[in-house]
Amino acid sequence: MDINLSFLGAARNVTGSRYLVEANNANILIDCGLYQEREFQHRNWDPFQVPPQELDAVLLTHAHLDHCGLLPKLVKEGFKGRVYCTPATADITKIILLDAAKLQEEDAAYKKKRHIREGRKGPYPEIPLYTIADAEASLPLFYTVGYEEPVLIGKGIEATFHDAGHILGSSMIKVRISQGEEKRSIIFSGDVGRWDRPILEDPSVFRKTDYVVVESTYGDRQHEGSKDIGDSLAETINTTYEAGGNIVVPSFALQRAQEILYYLNKLLMEDRIPDLKVYLDSPMAIKVTEVFKRYDELFDRDMKDLLRQHQSPFDFPGLTMVETVEESKALNTLTEPAMIIAGSGMCTGGRIKHHLVNNISRPNSTILFVGYQAEGTLGRYILNGAKSVRIHGQPRSVQARVAQIHGFSAHADRDELLKWLSKLSVNPRHVFITHGEVKAAERFQEFLREKTGFETTVPGYKTRVRLE
């Protein structure tokens, strides 16, 4: 067999997913993600390892920026092939890329102004990595494929998308390559979701493949139980409601916001919380929720049952979608206790900052964290118990209650990754462990070897292997 596989991103680090398959005179890229870890961000500016015009196709696993966020740059620099993905991924990726481009433009303008003022130069050019126009130019290249429908990518190369259960539209992609009588298959896990999560189906499993490229974000950890998310949420809401304060929830717009709505709807149906007003104050989360509504065929059985009973979590009494800035500002004068869900998820920007200003010094309000808060973010400072934080340039004393709910993760943990790989009834020829910090990937490698005896590697950046 003459197949080469190269690891051009998310290799011994988490973000920047990008793998290149060279076979049958075709160059196929799986994912084209943005590097988000500060120490690797400079790679976003590097030239692509294969000239974009020499690439034949991109297969996109899902709409998270660390998997799709460099597509506009690829297109700007000459890529003219198709971007294959599921219809839901295409719809969400468009929202995500346009938003990312807008942020890139704003960031570059801000940096330029600051550097002129300070008379210095930053480490990166003061131009956006790509513009809104670049993002728009990449949209016509999307070519959608449903789950479980094999599609011919090139001569003797076929790809099938399978539900990954990670976010709406997310996929694991199985690539089959034929050369004469010989055939090989490679599964790219994308991000592996979890079993028994709300809204989405469970991750697809496979019985046979020659090679696996598997993520390992939580390869060295086990998630805390998620069964009590509803209990924790009810407790926080009831306590805050009785105190007469607001519950302010910083949330990611994609998947997390929709899951919170799911739990709220359930608690309301079960009469476990009062009929409080819920405001989804994030234009991006509202747009993504609209996509969810269009793809009800992708939901799990429990969610489909809810829709049949007209109990949609995206449309319950008391839920208001806050579109405009004026409507958002009007939330400052609420007189009844309410829940406000807004972005960004780590409080680094967006409307959440206004709601924090308005609530963080009120002892009867609660700031409720439902997601990971990276080192150095405003969210992390608040979560770590800072007595005072700076928001919009002003010090604010933290007097609100600070709460956190674990268990919302959309990534399989160590045991769930093992469960997914253990469904293979024949040992694969090799497993490549990617998309994890070095420690997580290596620990998962050890764990997997011990449990399954699979042959494994944790490939480094730009490693190129020939698949036998």
Instruction: Please choose, out of 4-12, 185-193, 227-235, 296-304, the segment that lies near Zn ion by the rule CB under 5 A.
Output: 185-193
Least distance (Å) between residue 67 CB and Zn ion: 6
Instruction: Please choose, out of 60-68, 176-184, 260-268, 334-342, the segment that lies near Zn ion by the rule CB under 5 A.
Output: 60-68
Instruction: Please choose, out of 47-55, 128-136, 189-197, 230-238, the segment that lies near Zn ion by the rule CB under 5 A.
Output: 189-197
64 binds Zn ion (CB under 5 A): yes
Is the dihedral angle over the CA atoms 415, 420, 426, 432 positive or is it negative? negative
194 binds Zn ion (CB under 5 A): no
Residue whose CB is less far from Zn ion, 218 or 241: 218
Least distance (Å) between residue 45 CB and Zn ion: 23
Residue whose CB is less far from Zn ion, 93 or 236: 93
Residue whose CB is less far from Zn ion, 172 or 319: 172
Least distance (Å) between residue 88 CB and Zn ion: 14
Cα-atom radius of gyration of the chain, to the nearest Å?
23
Closest CA to 198 of 125, 49, 305: 305
Residue whose CB is less far from Zn ion, 64 or 414: 64
Among 105, 163, 191, 210, binds Zn ion (CB under 5 A): 191
Residue whose CB is less far from Zn ion, 166 or 353: 166
Residue whose CB is less far from Zn ion, 16 or 52: 16
Least distance (Å) between residue 166 CB and Zn ion: 5
Two tokens at 229?
């998310």
Residues 6+ apart with CB under 8 A from 404: 368, 369, 370, 383
Least distance (Å) between residue 217 CB and Zn ion: 8
Least distance (Å) between residue 191 CB and Zn ion: 4
Q: By CB under 5 A, what part of segment 264-303 binds Zn ion?
A: none
Least distance (Å) between residue 215 CB and Zn ion: 8
Residue whose CB is less far from Zn ion, 64 or 184: 64
Least distance (Å) between residue 59 CB and Zn ion: 15
Residue whose CB is less far from Zn ion, 191 or 413: 191
Instruction: Please choose, out of 142-150, 191-199, 281-289, 428-436, the segment that lies near Zn ion by the rule CB under 5 A.
Output: 191-199
Q: By CB under 5 A, what part of segment 345-374 binds Zn ion?
A: none
Least distance (Å) between residue 64 CB and Zn ion: 4
Instruction: Please choose, out of 57-65, 78-86, 198-206, 239-247, the segment that lies near Zn ion by the rule CB under 5 A.
Output: 57-65
Least distance (Å) between residue 226 CB and Zn ion: 17
435 binds Zn ion (CB under 5 A): no
Parallel, antiparallel or unpaired: strands 277-281 and 338-342: parallel
Whole-angstrom Cα distance, residue 242 to residue 415? 40
Least distance (Å) between residue 268 CB and Zn ion: 29
Instruction: Please choose, out of 62-70, 221-229, 252-260, 431-439, the segment that lies near Zn ion by the rule CB under 5 A.
Output: 62-70
Q: Give CB contacts under 8 A, 24+ apart, made by 37-40.
A: 37/13, 40/13, 40/15, 40/16
Closest CA to 454 of 211, 174, 182: 211
Residue whose CB is less far from Zn ion, 64 or 194: 64
Residue whose CB is less far from Zn ion, 3 or 173: 173
Residue whose CB is less far from Zn ion, 170 or 312: 170
Q: Which residues bind Zn ion (CB under 5 A)?
A: 64, 191
